[in-house]
Amino acid sequence: AAPFLDVRDLRVHFPTEDGIVKSVDGVSFTLEKGSTLGIVGESGSGKSVTSLALLGLHKGTRAEVSGEIRLDGRELVSLPEHDMRTLRGRTVSMIFQDPLSALHPYFTVGAQIAEAYRVHHKVSKKEARDRAVEMLKRVGIPQPERRVRDYPHQFSGGMRQRAMIAMALVCDPELLIADEPTTALDVTVQAQILDLIRDLQEEFGSAVVLITHDLGVVADIADDILVMYGGRRIEYGTVHDVLKEPQHPYTWGLLESMPQITGDVERRLNPIAGSPPSLINPPGGCAFHPRCTYKGWVPGGRCAVERPELVSVPGTGRHLAACHLTPETRQEIRVRTAAGA
Ligand code: SF4
Ligand code: MG
């Protein structure tokens, strides 16, 4: 059977005065119901733009979108905005980084969750309100009958995030997109929210796309990892394969910059030096080469001139990586790194 979500060769290009910004440039992935895909990258890698395309939020903008997004057999890239609107919130739903961008300050939390439900269901106000109370309870908000009447500013940051999750799930969506859902929260609350997303996914059986700059977040919760750089895929596979034998030097860098939690102090070690590539005029060859400390291991200066294809990692099922390093060289680098050389 076809995958539940099947994204093929997705491109999102924005024409600007300075040239065409290729935010997403040929991205493909699949996702099944009940599974989580973590899309990982720095800001500007194209991960958020990919998620906005899944929601059809580029429609009516100047963005040029091509490729295919098939959700349960239905093609979304070419779907008119009117039809997309009936899917948004009901079939596909989103949790944003900042709950205050999704929650209106002048309406009670309960009224907003109830309204999100009534957009797609013909129910009375009373029924919608009961549904809001039930959802607040399911996302772990204490005294939901009372809190349903509160305004967003009366909630703590973590509670607001829970309320936004309640709103995103009120229509039981089949695909949930979470863009940096825990970035604004402190470490303890982050862990609680991730647990909540995982529990709710089990309960609701939806497919989840989790967008993050933090590989540590996806390590715990995702089934598959897609690492993006400059709008392209540079590594893709199961969490197991990618974390056990990461292939791409950029992924190595992300792993080294994973937060080390000691007590409640979060330390970041070795962030990747340099800046993300231009999306208008990306570097030739491998887009990562200006920042890559391993390009010297590839003979002939090839990294600067030839873009590596995304190819299957020998001996794996569907682990893909785009890097010129050979398996032998990678192994040698690993040995030297382990030896502290
Ligand atoms: Fe580094 Fe070359 Fe691999 Fe790119 S292709 S990641 S520059 S070694
Ligand atoms: Mg973003």
Tens digits of per-residue pLDDT, 251-296?
Answer: 999 988 766 554 444 555 556 889 999 999 999 999 999 999 999 9
CA–CA dist 34, 205 (Å, integer): 5
CA–CA dist 242, 247 (Å, integer): 7
Q: Is 232 in the pocket of ligand 1 (CB under 6 A)?
A: no
pTM of the entire predicted model: 0.92
- 141 C-alpha to ligand 1 centroid (Å): 47
Question: Which of ligand 1's atoms lies nearest the C-alpha of 304?
Answer: 7
**Domain 1-91+173-341 adopts which CATH fold?**
Rossmann fold (3.40.50)
Give me the pLDDT at residue 196, please: 87
CA–CA dist 6, 28 (Å, integer): 8
Q: Is 176 in the pocket of ligand 1 (CB under 6 A)?
A: no
- Ion ligand 2 residues within 5 Å by Cβ: 48
Residues with Cβ within 8 Å of residue 199, at least 6 apart in sequence = none
236 in Cβ contact with 312 (< 8 Å): no
Amino acid letter at 332?
A: E
- 213 C-alpha to ligand 1 centroid (Å): 20
Instruction: Name the residue at shortest CA distance from atom 5 of ligand 1.
Output: 323
Give me the pLDDT at residue 341, please: 52
pLDDT in tens, the chain (341 residues): 889 999 999 999 999 999 999 999 999 999 999 999 999 998 889 999 999 999 988 877 889 999 999 999 999 999 999 999 999 988 999 988 777 778 899 999 999 999 999 999 999 999 999 999 999 999 999 999 999 999 999 999 889 989 999 999 999 899 999 988 887 777 777 888 888 888 888 888 899 999 998 888 888 889 999 999 999 999 999 999 999 999 999 999 998 876 655 444 455 555 688 999 999 999 999 999 999 999 999 999 999 999 999 999 998 889 999 999 999 999 999 888 777 65
Give me the pLDDT at residue 279, please: 96
Closest C-alpha among 2, 7, 12, 174 to residue 76: 7
Give me the pLDDT at residue 193, please: 84
Closest C-alpha among 82, 2, 39 to residue 234: 39
Q: What is the chain's Cα-based Rg? A: 21
Between β-strands 311-312 and 224-229, what pairing exists: parallel, antiparallel or unpaired? unpaired
- 216 C-alpha to ligand 2 centroid (Å): 17
Q: Is 291 in the pocket of ligand 1 (CB under 6 A)?
A: no
Ligand nearest to the CA of 329: 1
